[in-house]
Structure 1
């Protein structure tokens, strides 16, 4: 699955370590977005769609912090 740089950044910032945890964190964050946050809302919606399509194993195989 391909992720944009913005989606990668969201995953790095909000991931508690699991796919389902990240989905919950992103949904919580979405609730606080205002009308001026159109890009962030779009990136988050796109990422949530992609996360819903992948398995926990696929998410676990992602290297969210490659420089560590």
Structure 2
């Protein structure tokens, strides 16, 4: 199973869709409006999502996390 950081999980939750390919598409579509750090986070998250299989994505649970806790 792919390991995502708290920041990556939060990004996925923001753009989560019915399947892996649609989630990738939504993040990709939002990237032109992102600044440097957010854009870099989106790139590394997309890289991981693209390496996953659809079944791995479907079986993984994504949760918003508060990294200040």
TM range (shorter): 0.7 to 0.9
Structure 2 stretches lacking a partner, 5+ long: 65-69
Moved over 2 A (4+): none
Q: TM-score, normalised by structure 2?
A: 0.83
C-alpha contact 2:15 2:23 (8 A) present in aligned 1: yes
Query: What is residue 47 of structure 1 aligned with on the other side?
Result: 45
Q: Output one character per residue of 1:6-58: Cα deviation in whole Å (capped at 9) or x when no partner.
A: 1000111101121000000000000222xxx2111111000100011000000
> Cα RMSD between the aligned structures?
1.4
Name the count of aligned residue pairs: 63
Q: Which 5+ residue runs of structure 1 have no aligned equivalent?
A: none
TM-score by length of 1: 0.84
